[in-house]
Structure 1
């Protein structure tokens, strides 16, 4: 059944509220939602496609970091140790040493590290790694 939000259904309100109303009422047509005038601008995919191309570059940069962590026990140990000691400068230095060339921001707690990669104002990617 189709639900019409502008139609007052008989059991929509408690009986004491509808006691004086003997029939169902419908809102006037001018209060209904517009059907052909949309409040949104016309669809333009140029910026979306540009963001999609930029995110591919960011994903390649994130892959550099994740590959280094996965393949190097020493790097993974150093990164985790620096994060657990709250040594942000060392964490940032280690992340940058993987060859990442785009802007990134690191945040960490004793149980997780979060690296946010971003490319200008178009898009970003957040990598969250638990330990």
Structure 2
């Protein structure tokens, strides 16, 4: 089954027979509306190459380990969690970045915060990225 956005063109014999007298016999579906059935048509997409995907999956594991450093520090230290949340609520970006960097994170990261949460975007040189959203 296929979707036809113009259903009034499906029936080639929607005109009376006397109007169609000079035309060839009606086919069930006009050729320009039927779905392509030729399996030899080429795909508009390049062939599948999983090398970059596998490389990204491998490199995202290191990013996740870096994010784990931050979450472990927040979970393990009440003072750190308080300082981080307080700095974010006061919109002190340099203090937030300094606190996050103090956990041992060596990757490039960007922080954004709202009154509800803290977002930390970890990136690694065009390969992949991980966004960590911590609500309070």
Is residue 4 of structure 1 aligned with residue 2 of structure 2? Answer: yes
Check whether the contact 1:7–1:25 (CA below 8 A) recurs between aligned residues: no
How many corresponding residue pairs? 121
Please give the secondary structure, in 1, of the residue aligned with 2:104.
coil
Computing the radius of gyration from Cα coordinates, the structure with the larger value is 2
Find 2:59's aligned residue among 40, 44, 54.
54
Q: How many angstroms does 1:24 deviate by?
A: 8.7
Q: How many angstroms does 1:21 deviate by?
A: 2.0
Corresponding position of 2:14: 21
Corresponding position of 1:115: 120
Q: How many angstroms does 1:7 deviate by?
A: 8.7
Find 2:35's aligned residue among 32, 37, 41.
32
Find 1:130's aligned residue among 117, 130, 135.
135
Residues 24 and 94 (structure 1), Cα distance of their counterparts in 2 relative to 1, 3 Å cut:
farther
Residues 99 and 25 (structure 1), Cα distance of their counterparts in 2 relative to 1, 3 Å cut:
same
CA–CA distance in structure 2, aligned partners of residues 6 and 63 of structure 1: 50
What TM-score results when the alignment is normalised by the length of structure 1? 0.81
Residues 97 and 26 (structure 1), Cα distance of their counterparts in 2 relative to 1, 3 Å cut:
same
- Segments of structure 1 that go 5 or more residues without pairing to the other structure are none
Corresponding position of 1:65: 70
What TM-score results when the alignment is normalised by the length of structure 2? 0.79
- Segments of structure 2 that go 5 or more residues without pairing to the other structure are 16-25
RMSD between superposed Cα atoms in Å: 2.6
